[in-house]
Amino acid sequence: MTAVEVARPVHRVACDGCSWIGYRRKPWCRDCPACGVDRSKLRPMWLAGCAPHAGLCCYLGHIWPPPADPAHPWPGYRHACHYLGSSIDLRVRWPEHLAGGYDPVTHKNRGAGSRLIAAALYFGCQVELVRVWHGSQARRLEQRLKQRRKPDADSLRAGAKTSLKPVCPLCNPASWWRRYPDLPDPPPPPRPRRFVHDPELWDADAEWDEAFPELACGATTTAAAVGAEVSGGLLAVGGGR
């Protein structure tokens, strides 16, 4: 057994006929052990450890060709074999994608999920959740991976076809974990410094006197004059008595 075979991920496989759920390294290696249905009817749900959870996340979906003829490309969106998105609650968003609703006449999706996934399901493909990044920088990672492009391309997302394969555990089982293994949270903002009064930089008395000259009370001469007037008035009142 080689190192690539050891690193192969484990799939969570389900049977829609009898509700059987199991884990396999190859989703369609054998028939359903519970009801004996053909192996092409089994459905891969997600890789082990990638179950949907609540919280902001960026997720990657792998689009399998029809299991009856894996060598034959599916007719819609032939260039795409992955779907990358972000959500605040993947437990709700992922079933919306799997609900489908693709209209082959108008080429639009009547459901709430992605048109790409809806078209893939309509033409018999299987969609599996293969990787999830949790963290506050999930949307930034999504835009970074989608906006990779070739130098001579016009579209900002012309390179999404090749940029998602290296991070997919199924397309790159040997070194997928080396690319964006975790999604660290950004460092917390620095604490604001407390204001310390510096009389050389800011003089409250001078600012007050300049703004309201008629109410200026910070000068020493003014305070002395007011004190002398008050003392003289008190003496005059005492002499009259």
**What are the residue ranges spanned by the domains of the chain?**
8-49, 51-178, 204-234
Work out the pLDDT band at 3, boundaries 50, 70, 90: very low
Report how far residue 118's alpha carbon sits from residue 150's, in angstroms, rounded to the nearest whole number. Answer: 27
User: Computed from CA positions of residues 49, 147, 99, 41, in that sequence, does the dihedral angle turn out positive or negative?
Assistant: negative
Which of the two residues, 146 and 152, has the higher pLDDT score?
A: 146
Q: What is the pLDDT of residue 208?
A: 81
Which of the two residues, 124 and 222, has the higher pLDDT score?
A: 124
How confident is the model over 230-235, as a mean pLDDT? Answer: 53
Q: CATH for 8-49? A: 2.20.28
Which of the two residues, 1 and 55, has the higher pLDDT score?
A: 55
Which of the two residues, 125 and 7, has the higher pLDDT score?
A: 125
The answer for residues whose C-beta is within 8 angstroms of residue 49's C-beta and 6 or more apart is none
Helix (H) or strand (E) holding 128: strand 126-134
How confident is the model over 161-176, as a mean pLDDT? Answer: 84
Report how far residue 221's alpha carbon sits from residue 63's, in angstroms, rounded to the nearest whole number. Answer: 86
- Average pLDDT score over the chain: 79
Q: What is the pLDDT of residue 233?
A: 55
Q: Based on C-alpha coordinates, what's the Rg of the chain?
A: 35
Residue-wise pLDDT tens digits, 61-75: 999 887 666 555 555
Residue-wise pLDDT tens digits, 7-59: 678 999 999 999 999 999 988 889 999 999 988 889 999 999 899 999 999 99
Q: With 60 as the cut, is the pLDDT of residue 224 above it?
A: no
Angle at 180 between CA 67 and CA 158, to 5 degrees: 65
